[in-house]
Amino acid sequence: MSTIALSTVTKTYGERAVVDRISMSVERGERAVLFGPSGCGKTTVLRLIAGLEVPDFGAIDIEGRRVAESGRNLVAPEQRHVAMVFQDLALWPHMTVHEHLAFALRFDAQCKVSDRSDRIRQILEIVQMADRAQTRPGELSGGEQQRVALARALVTYPAIVLMDEPLSGLDEELSLHLRREVLRLHTQLRFTLLYVTHIREEAAGLGLRIIGMREGRLAASA
């Protein structure tokens, strides 16, 4: 059974179809990359899956459950067991690393309040940031900030992780290092990964399957 399935999904803004009748699936535990030029609709696909946008037409299923269909979100974003790492990271300057993860866990009904500190410590150890738990984003390097964003996405133990070009803007050496970190985390935690990028080398390095996209439609898969 596919973890993610889109069936003729369309999303329009005004008269422009940003996502145009897309049908695609991602299998459980797969590491797939949605690859294409900037502005082709990749980020919108992620936002539709996460529930941050609503499809005008078509249907979206997650783990066999219909979550959105033709103008309606049937399942709220926080109930989809999906985590998203945004391109701009969206870290709050006044919050420590620990507080970022604690905030994410507030929306996880399956994690007891008494278990949250242990869960946060475990995830920070996995991303090798345990010694920075009381640090704020402004005191962290770019690579450390990326790890905080990853940890915040992973702390709820999501079935699906969506990543929207999280390594853009980093220098080549740091980008390569964090790419390896993503691969390590995927192997260790076994989540389903759908990663968006417009960089060919990044797509080749991360994707077991590459799904091409252009002008709102799927192109070729590799």
Q: Domain spans of the chain?
A: 2-221
Q: What is the average per-residue pLDDT within 142-147?
A: 87
Has residue 195 got a pLDDT over 90? Answer: yes
The amino acid sitting at 4 is I
Cα separation of 154 and 141, whole Å? 20
The two structure tokens encoding residue 12: 């329009």
What mean pLDDT is reported for the chain?
90
Q: What architecture is domain 2-221?
A: 3-Layer(aba) Sandwich (3.40)
Q: How is residue 117 annotated by DSSP?
A: H
Confidence (pLDDT) at 188: 87
Q: Identify the residue with better confidence: 68 or 220.
A: 68
Phi, psi (deg, nearest 5) at residue 18: -75, -40
This prediction's pTM: 0.88
Spatial contact of 194 and 160, defined as CB atoms under 8 Å apart: yes
Q: Identify the residue with better confidence: 88 or 159.
A: 159
